[in-house]
Amino acid sequence: MAGVRRRRGGAALTIATAVLVTGCGGAADDDGDTGGKSRTAAEAARPEAPRVIGDGSTSFTGPQPGQPEATRLAPGERPPQFVVFSWDGAGEDDKELFSHFREVGRAYDADMTYFLSGIYVLPEDEAHRYDPPGDRGPGASDIGYLSDENVRATLEQVRGAWLDGSEIGTHYNGHFCGPTGVDTWSVADWKDEISQAKWFVKHWKTTTGWQDADALPFDYERELIGGRTPCLEGRENLVRAARDLGFRYDSSGIGRQVWPEKEQGLWDIPLQLVPMPGRSFETLSMDYNFMVNQSGPGSGDPAKWPQWERQMRDGLLAGFERAYEGNRAPLIIGNHFNGWNGGIYMNAVEDVIKTVCVRDEVRCVSFRQLVDWLDAQDPAVLEKLRSLGVGEEPEQGWRAFLAPPPAAQAGDGARAAARS
Q: What is the pLDDT of residue 420?
A: 43
* Alpha-carbon gap, residue 48 to 151, rounded angstroms: 30
Is a pLDDT exceeding 70 seen at residue 19? no
Average pLDDT over residues 28-47: 50
pLDDT in tens, 243-266: 999 999 999 999 999 999 999 999
Is a pLDDT exceeding 60 seen at residue 110? yes
Q: What is the pLDDT of residue 166?
A: 98
Give alpha helix (H) positions in 301-340. 305-324
Q: What is the pLDDT of residue 50?
A: 86
Is a pLDDT exceeding 80 seen at residue 155? yes
Domain assignment present for 23: no
Domain assignment present for 35: no
Owning domain of residue 269: 81-378+385-390
Confidence bin at 12 (pLDDT 50/70/90):
very low
Q: What is the domain count for the chain? A: 1
Q: Which residue has the higher pLDDT, 3 or 149?
A: 149
pLDDT above 70 covers what percent of the chain?
85
* Alpha-carbon gap, residue 177 to 288, rounded angstroms: 15
* Torsion angle in degrees (nearest 10) through CA of 179, 181, 184, 187: -170
Q: What is the pLDDT of residue 405?
A: 75
Domain assignment present for 65: no
Is a pLDDT exceeding 80 seen at residue 383? yes
Nearest-5° angle of CA 360, CA 361, CA 364?
Answer: 100
Is a pLDDT exceeding 50 seen at residue 26? no
Contact by Cβ (8 Å): 353, 319: no
Give alpha helix (H) positions in 219-301. 220-223, 235-244, 287-295
* Alpha-carbon gap, residue 23 to 274, rounded angstroms: 38
Q: What is the chain's alpha carbon radius of gyration, rounded to the nearest angstrom?
A: 22
Domain assignment present for 8: no
Is a pLDDT exceeding 80 seen at residue 391? yes
Domain assignment present for 55: no
Q: Which residue has the higher pLDDT, 415 or 86?
A: 86
Domain assignment present for 64: no
Q: What is the pLDDT of residue 41?
A: 58
Give alpha helix (H) positions in 165-304. 187-202, 204-208, 220-223, 235-244, 287-295
Confidence bin at 401 (pLDDT 50/70/90):
very high
Domain assignment present for 420: no
Domain assignment present for 2: no
Say which CATH number the domain at 237 has.
3.20.20.370
Average pLDDT score over the chain: 89
* Alpha-carbon gap, residue 339 to 117, rounded angstroms: 18
